[in-house]
Chains A and B, each alone.
Chain A
Amino acid sequence: AQSVTQLGSHVSVSEGALVLLRCNYSSSVPPYLFWYVQYPNQGLQLLLKYTTGATLVKGINGFEAEFKKSETSFHLTKPSAHMSDAAEYFCAVSESDSWGKLQFGAGTQVVVTP
């Protein structure tokens, strides 16, 4: 069975600074990995995903994430934070041989300060 751990429930970054959100997972088979973003009073939107192939994945709004199998990690980064990046971010994992079940992390709330 898979599980997801997001380090830090709240992260504060200055506008223009690096955004780094950490995600570690456990999975007994090759995983599918996702980052979703949730803006206030809305559902979740997909930022990016890893299924197979290139381990550095680029998503929308300047975000990217790198799948590191040896570290069982899928950290999300953005070089320069913008005020509009303030939101809650969720890492999620699905096991490729039992699709249907999707497990989310607890979420990281990002605050961007001027």
Chain B
Amino acid sequence: EAQVTQNPRYLITVTGKKLTVTCSQNMNHEYMSWYRQDPGLGLRQIYYSMNVEVTDKGDVPEGYKVSRKEKRNFPLILESPSPNQTSLYFCASTRDSLASPLHFGNGTRLTVT
């Protein structure tokens, strides 16, 4: 089954403790992206990647890192999480460009205390 898989679904952590949210897609998509969803703000793009070893900042990259060493994986790294990073995070992928539909994972709900 074609899908985007994020792990974990839920994560509670403390300020400053490094964490990684994994994202993997099995559709051989070139493009992958991370978003955070907050009430009243919709989804805001954190980082995106157009191919292996090619990443770029979205609208809200501060406090986040990404890497794209393999086509299928696009982990989101929070080196020193803070409470304002408490949010619902989505990973998405698409075949080649944004003219193609995005496939979303089911989300990771992160709470930073």
Contacts and interface: CB of A to CB of B under 8 A. Distances in A.
B74 interface: no
B83 interface: no
A53 to B, nearest CB: 11
B33 interface: yes
B9 to A, nearest CB: 9
Contact of A43 (B45, B48, B101, B107): B107
A96 B97 CA distance: 10
Interface residues of B, number: 26
Contact size range, A: 20 to 34
Interface of B: 4, 31, 33, 35, 40-45, 48, 50, 56, 58-59, 90, 92, 97-99, 101-102, 104-107
Interface of A: 4, 6, 9, 32, 34, 36, 41-46, 49, 51, 90, 92, 94, 96, 99-107
